[in-house]
Amino acid sequence: MDSCWKRFRTYLQVSQAFKIARRLFVMNAFDGILTLMGVVIGAHFSGLSNPEVVIKAGIGGIIALGISGMSSAYLAERAERRRDLRKLESAMLKDLKRSQFARASEFATVVVALVNGISPALGGMILVIPYFFVPAIDMEAAFRASLALGLLCLFVLGIFLARISSERMIVSGVRMILVGLLTIAIVSLVSAPGAI
């Protein structure tokens, strides 16, 4: 088990998959949160009183985001890494398909695909959670709690980005919240009764 973990760590370093996965995690969690904000706001302004509809629509969106993210990242990353492998083989005049580099590239492709699919699903799922508590809380409270959780998640992502870039954490967190608030405002305007 220990040797397996060491090999995986080596693959992550050789392929630089960790850096790519970290970037994709933030971008796609961000996408998942904003997408589900749109679903929650649209459901709210359509007058839904059944939390099950919001939960099912949310979970449907989350699954679609996850499958889309995983498959698109796998196919794109695989193509890029195979191209890099062929270039290296051409430069070295050697078949590298069974090399550590080739195995590291394949491992990186899988890691990147998993992160790309799981992160928007995780980000989005958080916004659905309050609707599981209806009727203990009413739909209005679930709606507000959902948006508040979304903004909190965006703030945490901002802090995470600030740690990577050595920027001020609060400023980065607030910047992300502003994007969330802008999304809420625009979707609310479009979704409000009589808007369309």
pLDDT digits (tens, 9 = 90+) for 150-168: 999 999 999 998 988 888 9
Q: Are 55 and 143 in contact (CB under 8 A)?
A: no
| Residue range 26-53: mean pLDDT, rounded | 92
What is the reported pTM? 0.84
| Residue range 44-49: mean pLDDT, rounded | 90
Measured CA to CA, the distance from residue 167 to residue 172 in angstroms comes to 7
Whose tokens are 């980000």? That residue is: 123
Q: Are 33 and 124 in contact (CB under 8 A)?
A: yes
142 CB-contact burial (10 Å; exposed 0-12 / middle 13-18 / buried 19+) = buried
- What SS3 class is residue 194? coil
| Residue range 117-135: mean pLDDT, rounded | 94
pLDDT value of residue 17: 75
pLDDT > 70? residue 196:
no
81 or 63, greater pLDDT: 63
pLDDT > 90? residue 184:
yes
Percentage above 90 pLDDT, the chain: 54
pLDDT > 70? residue 2:
no
DSSP 137: S
